[in-house]
Amino acid sequence: MRSRAALAALPGVLALAAAHAEVDPQLCFACHGPNGNSVNAAVPALAGQPAQFIGTQLIMFREKRRTDPQMSPVAAPLTNPEILALGKFFAAQQRAAPAQKPSEAVIAAGRKLAEDYNCVVCHGPALHGQQHIPRLAGQQKEYLRTQLRGFKAGTRFDMDGNMTSAAQRLQPADIDVLADYISGLE
């Protein structure tokens, strides 16, 4: 009975979802910063992220594959059309210039690690991301460090396993250099 009623209601629900496919992105600015340019070390910037990456991560949070005490409740009620619209919005925002520049020594060491460990192969030559692969350039340093440690430890969910394997060879010192280097990139 219940499923038949739900099915009968489906066209109406879909029309409603399409009509209300906008969540005000201002809701996200409270944590992710103005236009998705985070000023909080623990919260990732969203500005200039590929729309597909934002969409897949929101679905991962909604489906409880990825969990966070702050982010999970925000993602829980989002519909697919709302997720699509949010991805489009943040992908179109300009990423702010990085707050600080690392030393020449860190830049040289970081660039070498990013090439030796193939970060540039998946995340793109300028680490600007593509499709479901995130932009890393100019991301919050602490956030990058936490995520890399999480992938290495197997605690950050990874859709296809690629990033978890990429992180296995990284030593703790490599992670520090990479986080310093990448957060300073435009």
Q: At its nearest, how many Å lie between ligand HEC and the CB of residue 93?
A: 11
Between 65 and 101, CB nearer to ligand HEC: 65
Residue 165, exposed/middle/buried by CB under 10 A (0-12, 13-18, 19+)?
Answer: exposed
Between 96 and 133, CB nearer to ligand HEC: 133
133: DSSP letter: B
Q: Which residues bind ligand HEC (CB under 6 A)?
A: 23, 27-28, 30-32, 42-44, 46, 54, 57-58, 68, 70-71, 74, 86, 114, 117-119, 121-123, 132-134, 136, 139, 144, 147-148, 158-159, 162-163, 166, 170, 178
Between 9 and 94, CB nearer to ligand HEC: 94
Q: Which of 50, 16, 18, 39 is nearest to 132 (CA)?
A: 50
Q: At its nearest, how many Å lie between ligand HEC and the CB of residue 22?
A: 11
Q: At its nearest, how many Å lie between ligand HEC and the CB of residue 7?
A: 29
Q: Which of 160, 159, 163 is nearest to 60 (CA)?
A: 159
Q: At its nearest, how many Å lie between ligand HEC and the CB of residue 144?
A: 5
Q: Do 44 and 144 meet the contact criterion of CB atoms below 8 Å apart?
A: no
Q: At its nearest, how many Å lie between ligand HEC and the CB of residue 97?
A: 18
Residue 130 three-state SS: strand
Kindly give the residue spans of alpha helices, DSSP state H, lying in 92-132: 104-116, 119-123
Between 2 and 28, CB nearer to ligand HEC: 28
Between 27 and 92, CB nearer to ligand HEC: 27
What end-to-end distance do the CA atoms of the chain give, in Å?
56
Between 10 and 30, CB nearer to ligand HEC: 30
Q: At its nearest, how many Å lie between ligand HEC and the CB of residue 1?
A: 35
Cβ neighbours of residue 37 closer than 8 Å, sequence gap 6 or more: 45, 47, 93, 95, 96
